[in-house]
Amino acid sequence: MEIHYPNGKTFHFKKEDRKIKVKKYQYGNRGMTLEDDINESNKYYLSNKIAVIHKKPTPIQIVQVDYPERSKAVIKEAYFKTPSTTDYNGVYRGKYLDFEAKETKSETSLPLKNFHEHQIRHTEAVLACGGIAFVIIRFSKTEEVFLLEGEHLLKFWQRMESGGRKSIAKDEIMQYGHYIPLGIQPRIDYIRLIESLYY
| pLDDT tens per residue, range 104-136 | 999 999 999 999 999 999 999 999 999 999 999
pLDDT 10s digits, 24-68: 333 344 446 899 999 999 999 999 999 999 998 766 677 777 877
What's the half-sphere exposure (Cβ side, CA atoms, 13 Å) at 174? 8
Give the pLDDT confidence of 72-96 residue by residue, as tens digits: 777 777 666 656 678 899 999 999 9
pLDDT of the residue at 11? 55
119 is in an annotated binding site: yes
The closest alpha carbon to 89, from 102, 104, 79, 100, belongs to 100
Residue 138, pLDDT score: 96
Considering the entire predicted model, what is its pTM? 0.74
Q: Which of 163, 152, 169 is nearest to 111 (CA)?
A: 169
**Cβ burial, residue 88 (10 Å; 0-12/13-18/19+):** buried
Mean pLDDT of 143-161: 97
Q: Which amino acid is at 187?
A: R
Residue 87 assigned as binding residue: yes
Residue 76: what pLDDT?
72
The H or E element spanning position 173 is helix 170-176
Q: Is 82 annotated as a binding residue?
A: no
Task: Give helix 150-161 / helix 117-128 axis angle, nearest 10°.
Answer: 130
Distance of CA 99 to the CA centre of its chain: 10
Looking at the predicted structure, is the pLDDT value of residue 189 above 70? yes
- Which domains are delineated in the chain? 29-55+83-198 (3.40.1350.10)
Q: Report whether 86 belongs to an annotated binding site.
A: no
What is the model's pLDDT at position 34? 94
Mean pLDDT for the chain overall: 84
Residue 190's pLDDT is what? 97
- Say yes or no to pLDDT of 162 above 90: yes
